[in-house]
Amino acid sequence: MTRHLISSADLGRADVEAILETAGSMHDLQRREVKKVPTLRGRTVINFFFEDSTRTRSSFEIAGKWMSADTINLSGKGSSTSKGESLRDTAMTVDAMAVDALVMRHPASGAAHQVAQWVRCSVINAGDGTHEHPTQALLDAYTLRSRLGDLDGKHVAIVGDLTHSRVFRSNVITLKKLGARVTVVAPPTLMPSGIGAWSAADDFATSWELDPVLAGEHEHGPVDAVMMLRVQRERMSGGYFPTAREYTVGYGLTRDRLETLVARNPEVLVLHPGPMNRGLEIAPEAADSPQSVVLDQVSAGVAVRMAVLYHLLAGDDGAPSGPPSPATLAGATTTNEGAVR
Binding-site members for carbamoyl phosphate are 55-56, 105, 133, 136, 274-275
- Closer Cβ to ligand ASP, 275 or 284, answer by number: 275
Rounded to whole angstroms, how far apart are CA atoms 257 and 278?
15
Q: Which of 64, 76, 273, 320 binds ligand ASP (CB under 6 A)?
A: 273
Selection from 268, 250, 248, 249 nearest residue 258 by Cα: 268
Please report how close the Cβ of residue 331 comes to ligand ASP at its closest, in angstroms. 33
Q: Looking at this protein, which amino acid is placed at residue 167?
A: V
Asked if 169 is part of the footprint of ligand ASP (rule: CB under 6 A), the reply reads no
Asked if 287 is part of the footprint of ligand ASP (rule: CB under 6 A), the reply reads no
- At 285 the three-state DSSP class reads helix
- Closer Cβ to ligand ASP, 229 or 332, answer by number: 229
- Closer Cβ to ligand ASP, 50 or 204, answer by number: 50
Rounded to whole angstroms, how far apart are CA atoms 244 and 341?
49
Asked if 230 is part of the footprint of ligand ASP (rule: CB under 6 A), the reply reads yes
Q: Looking at this protein, which amino acid is placed at residue 246?
A: E
Asked if 57 is part of the footprint of ligand ASP (rule: CB under 6 A), the reply reads no
Q: Which residue is nearest to ligand ASP (CB)?
A: 230
Total site size for ligand ASP, rule CB under 6 A: 8
Selection from 46, 97, 100 nearest residue 75 by Cα: 46
Rounded to whole angstroms, how far apart are CA atoms 261 and 3?
42
- Residue stretches of the annotated binding site: 55-56, 83, 105, 133, 136, 166, 230, 274-275
Torsion of CA 329, 335, 338, 341, to 10 degrees: 100
Identify whether the C-beta of residue 230 lies closer than 8 Å to the C-beta of residue 161.
yes
Please report how close the Cβ of residue 251 comes to ligand ASP at its closest, in angstroms. 15
- Closer Cβ to ligand ASP, 227 or 332, answer by number: 227
- Closer Cβ to ligand ASP, 18 or 185, answer by number: 185
Asked if 166 is part of the footprint of ligand ASP (rule: CB under 6 A), the reply reads yes
- Closer Cβ to ligand ASP, 10 or 28, answer by number: 10
DSSP string, 42-91: T-EEEEEESS--SHHHHHHHHHHHHTT-EEEEEETTTSGGGGT--HHHHH
Please report how close the Cβ of residue 56 comes to ligand ASP at its closest, in angstroms. 6
Q: Which residues pair with 75 in a beta bridge?
A: 49
Q: Which of 133, 177, 220, 311 binds ligand ASP (CB under 6 A)?
A: 133
H or E, element range at 27 = helix 13-30
Q: Residue numbers of the site for ligand ASP (CB under 6 A)?
A: 127, 133, 166-167, 230, 232, 273-274
